[in-house]
Structure 1
Amino acid sequence: MEFQYYLPVNLVFGRGKSDLIGEKAAALGKKALLVTGGRSTKESGLLAKTERLLQEKEISFVLFDKVEPNPLTTTVYQGSEIAVSEGCDLVIALGGGSSLDAAKGIAFQAINGGNISDYIYGRKNSDKALPVLAVPTTCGTGSEGNGFAVMTNPETLDKKSLRCRAIIPACSIIDPLLMTTMPKSVLASVGFDALCHNLDGYISSIAQPLTDIMALEGFGLAAESLVKLYEDTGDMESWDKLCMASTLGGMVINTAGVTALHGMEHPVSGLKNAIHGRGLAALAPYVLEASIQGAPQKFAKLSRLLGGKDESDFTAQIRTLLKKLDLTESLGDMGITEADLSWLTDNCLKISAAGMANHPVVFGREEIRALYRSAIGRDTASD
């Protein structure tokens, strides 16, 4: 047994831990760029609370509240320009995975400048970024636990992640109490994303013993808690479990990467600005059914965690879960048509080559196209 594992992430986990935002920020800098979206953290009161906690610690701050659901590289440029011009030495991310990813990109861009796509595609490298304090308000992306920042280039529609150790948050505060204001539809999609991160990392060909342990635990916690929360959002123990599942999933993919399910979804949300978790749900039954032969023992374990018996009923268990969460949209419902299939296939092979290669079944171009076509749905895909 040989492997290498390195992930220097400082997690502060627990109900009410958001009270420590000022204290943790004070250890990282003196002037913060607050990165968030335009609505949810204001309506929940988290933004006002953060501003008060920073003021108590005499930390000055500038607000950047322009982050969209699928953050753009242009948004990252805009935020980094403000961070530089205002002399910020710290970035604080408040919100869902989009806010965290945008904040990490901004922290990187503020130090490195230039074309961030050069770093996303590995043409340039850097190990420098402003420190990031991450405070997630959704339990899905796991961005608080890794060095990934997913963003979309609006010119090419490439949705791909910047991967860099420097953008692993210097501190992540995971407070399950912050999650409870999510609408149920958001909970379903982000929770399914958390489950899929653990699944993707577990079946990856570059998984290793530590990621397998975390992935199975994360998948099991998500499977146990997600439907319970969808039916009763007041179940705080389930919030704790789903938040842990999300963070574990983020940590897992930092090392084991994502595989074909995420690799095929990113072109969908890049092209149509679809909700990521719903795109995963539309693809999952088809992509995963075609994958079982490559890792039957692993799929058997995953099926049992969903209440099944072995790999033979894994897909049925996934379909049952999606039905319980009302995640029943097809890619066709999201605007994908037969005319998009060539672009989706080409873009998948362009931006997700590594993840597709690490999948237990390595799909060829025609297989990828056929899987996309199946996920469009019978009513929109013509022969």
Structure 2
Amino acid sequence: MEFQYYLPVNLVFGKGKSLFIGEKAAALGKKAMIVTGGSSTKRSGLLGKTGEQLRDKNIPYVIFDKVTPNPLTTTVLEGAAIAQAEGCDVVIALGGGSSIDAAKGIAFQAVNGDDINDYIFGRKSSDKALPIIAVPTTCGTGSEGNGFAVMTNPESKDKKSLRCSAIVPACSIIDPLLMATMPKDILASVGFDALCHNIDGYISSIAQPMTDILALEGARLAINCLKKVYANPTDMEGWEGLCLASTLGGMVINTAGVTALHGMEHPVSGLKDVVHGRGLAALAPAVFEESIKGDPKKFTILSRLLGGRDENDFMDKINELIHELKLNTTLGDMGIKNDDVDWLAENCMKVSAASIANHPVVFSVEDLKRIYRKAI
């Protein structure tokens, strides 16, 4: 048995831990940029409370609140230019995965300059970025637990992740109290994403003992706790478990990567700007149906976590969960047409070649086209 596992992230987990944002920021920098979306952290009061904490610690700050779902490379460039001009030396992400990923991109771009797309596609590399504090308000992407930042180039529609150890957050504050006001449709989507991260990493051909341990616990928590909080949003123990599942999923894919499900969804949301978790739910039945034969042992274990007996029950159980969460949808419902399939398959091989290569069944371009059509 040989493996290497390295992930330098400081996780601060627990109810009320968002009260320590100012303290952590003061230890990392002298002027902060807060990166967030346009409304949710304002409505919840988190943005205002973070500002109060920073003022109490005598940390001046600027707010960049232009992040949208499926964050754009152009937004990252705009935020980085402001961070440079304002002399910010620490970046605080408040919000869902989009805000955290955008903050990571801004922290990286502010130090490195040049075209961030060159770094995303590996034509250039760097191990430098401003320190990042991640404060997630949704429990799905796990971006608080890894060195990935997914963003979309609005010109090419390429949705791909910047990957770099320097953008692993210097501190991630995971406070389950910040999650409990999520609408049920958003909860279903992000919770399913958390589950799929753990599944993707578990079945990956580059999985290893540490990631298997994390992924199985993450999947177990995601399955059990997502159902709990979806049925009862006041179940704080359920929120704690789901938050941990999300973070574990992010940690898993940092080492084991994602596989075909995520690899195939990224072109969909890159092209049509769909909600990522719903895109996963639309593709999951078609992708998993053709994947079980690649690793029946692991799909047996996953099936049992879902309440099944062996790999033969997995599809029934994952479809039951999708329906229970009201995520049953198709790519056609999201505006994908048969005319888009060739582009989707080719773009998948462009932006997600590693994810396809790591899948337990390695799909060809023609396989991808067939699966996309099945999901329409």
**TM-score normalized by structure 1?**
0.98
Partner amino acid for 1:154? P
Q: Does 1:209 align with 2:209?
A: yes
CA–CA distance in structure 2, aligned partners of residues 322 and 315 of structure 1: 11
Q: 1:41-190, aligned counterparts within 5 Å?
A: 41-190=41-190
- Deviation, 1:181, is 1.2
Secondary structure of residue in 2 paired with 1:154:
coil
CA–CA distance in structure 2, aligned partners of residues 243 and 86 of structure 1: 33
- Deviation, 1:237, is 0.4
In the alignment, what sits opposite 1:237?
237
Partner amino acid for 1:275? V
- Deviation, 1:302, is 0.3
- Deviation, 1:328, is 1.0
Task: Give the length in aligned residue pairs.
Answer: 376
CA–CA distance in structure 2, aligned partners of residues 236 and 337 of structure 1: 41
In the alignment, what sits opposite 1:317?
317
Structure 1 runs of 4+ off > 2 angstroms? none
In the alignment, what sits opposite 2:361?
361
Q: 1:301-340, aligned counterparts within 5 Å?
A: 301-340=301-340
What are the Cα deviations for residues 117-155 of structure 1, in whole angstroms up to 9, with x where unaligned? 100111000000000000000000000000000000001
Partner amino acid for 2:232? D
CA–CA distance in structure 2, aligned partners of residues 104 and 42 of structure 1: 21
- Deviation, 1:256, is 0.2
Secondary structure of residue in 2 paired with 1:70:
coil
CA–CA distance in structure 1, aligned partners of residues 179 and 282 of structure 2: 24
Q: 1:208-287, aligned counterparts within 5 Å?
A: 208-287=208-287
Calculate the aligned-residue CA RMSD, in Å. 0.4
Partner amino acid for 1:211? T
- Percent same amino acid among aligned pairs? 73
Partner amino acid for 2:374? S
CA–CA distance in structure 1, aligned partners of residues 316 and 285 of structure 2: 8
- Deviation, 1:329, is 1.4
**TM-score normalized by structure 2?**
1.00
Secondary structure of residue in 2 paired with 1:62:
strand
- Deviation, 1:63, is 0.4
Partner amino acid for 1:266? H
- Deviation, 1:228, is 1.4
Secondary structure of residue in 2 paired with 1:63:
strand
Partner amino acid for 2:59? I
Secondary structure of residue in 2 paired with 1:122:
coil
CA–CA distance in structure 1, aligned partners of residues 198 and 95 of structure 2: 21
Secondary structure of residue in 2 paired with 1:93:
strand
CA–CA distance in structure 2, aligned partners of residues 87 and 359 of structure 1: 43
CA–CA distance in structure 2, aligned partners of residues 97 and 85 of structure 1: 25
In the alignment, what sits opposite 1:381?
none
Secondary structure of residue in 2 paired with 1:52:
helix
In the alignment, what sits opposite 1:351?
351
CA–CA distance in structure 2, aligned partners of residues 96 and 121 of structure 1: 24
CA–CA distance in structure 1, aligned partners of residues 301 and 31 of structure 2: 48
CA–CA distance in structure 2, aligned partners of residues 181 and 150 of structure 1: 25
CA–CA distance in structure 2, aligned partners of residues 365 and 94 of structure 1: 38
Unaligned runs of 5+ in 1: 377-383
In the alignment, what sits opposite 2:197?
197
CA–CA distance in structure 1, aligned partners of residues 313 and 364 of structure 2: 25
Partner amino acid for 1:355? S
In the alignment, what sits opposite 1:4?
4
- Deviation, 1:240, is 0.3
In the alignment, what sits opposite 1:296?
296
In the alignment, what sits opposite 2:27?
27
Partner amino acid for 1:96? G
Partner amino acid for 2:84? V
What are the Cα deviations for residues 23-67 of structure 1, in whole angstroms up to 9, with x where unaligned? 011110010000000000000000000000100000000000000
Secondary structure of residue in 2 paired with 1:347:
helix
Partner amino acid for 1:242? L
Partner amino acid for 2:320? T
CA–CA distance in structure 2, aligned partners of residues 70 and 365 of structure 1: 25
Partner amino acid for 1:59? I
CA–CA distance in structure 1, aligned partners of residues 64 and 310 of structure 2: 48
- Deviation, 1:218, is 0.1
Partner amino acid for 1:36? T
CA–CA distance in structure 2, aligned partners of residues 238 and 57 of structure 1: 33
Partner amino acid for 2:161? S
Partner amino acid for 1:167? I
CA–CA distance in structure 1, aligned partners of residues 121 and 304 of structure 2: 38
- Deviation, 1:101, is 0.1
